[in-house]
């Protein structure tokens, strides 16, 4: 159930972003990964600093909802497609931004929960 909801949220957000932003850069996937990193940081920070969640809720939120929402496989496809189009700068900028900003978003979420 969580995975289905996460996938539905991802699809909806990507659709909205792609309808409002016309760009060759895969901004929708980047936004999803950043929000997923932030949400993972908030949940992890909450469990670390405020208290554990029941196992079923933790599995629903982290494995299900966030697992269905985040899009690392879509990230990989976007990266390869950019490379195949000869957009090497876009591909490596996208990879760097996705990884570094997602990690920073996770850290930010944990710090907010502290």
Domain count, the chain: 1
pLDDT tens, 51-90? 888 999 988 998 899 999 987 877 887 899 899 999 999 9
* Mean pLDDT along residues 46-51: 86
* Mean pLDDT along residues 8-19: 95
pLDDT at 110 over 80: yes
Which domain range does residue 21 map to? 2-113
Q: Which residues of 10-48 are buried (b: 16+ CB within 10 A; e: fewer)?
A: beebbeebeeeeeeebbbbbbbbbbbbbbbbbbbebbee
Give me the pLDDT at residue 24, please: 82
Give me the pLDDT at residue 111, please: 93
pLDDT at 96 over 90: yes
């Amino acid at each position: 159930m969580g995975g289905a909801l996460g996938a539905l949220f991802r699809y909806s957000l990507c659709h909205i972003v792609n309808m409002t932003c016309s760009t060759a850069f895969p901004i929708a996937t980047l936004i999803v990964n950043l929000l997923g990193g932030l949400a993972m940081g908030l949940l992890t920070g909450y469990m670390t600093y405020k208290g554990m969640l029941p196992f079923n809720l933790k599995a629903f939120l982290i494995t299900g909802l966030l697992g269905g929402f985040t899009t690392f496989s879509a990230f990989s496809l976007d990266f390869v497609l950019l490379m195949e189009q000869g957009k090497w700068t876009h591909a490596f900028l996208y990879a760097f931004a996705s990884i570094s900003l997602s990690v920073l978003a996770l850290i930010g979420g944990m710090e907010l929960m502290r």
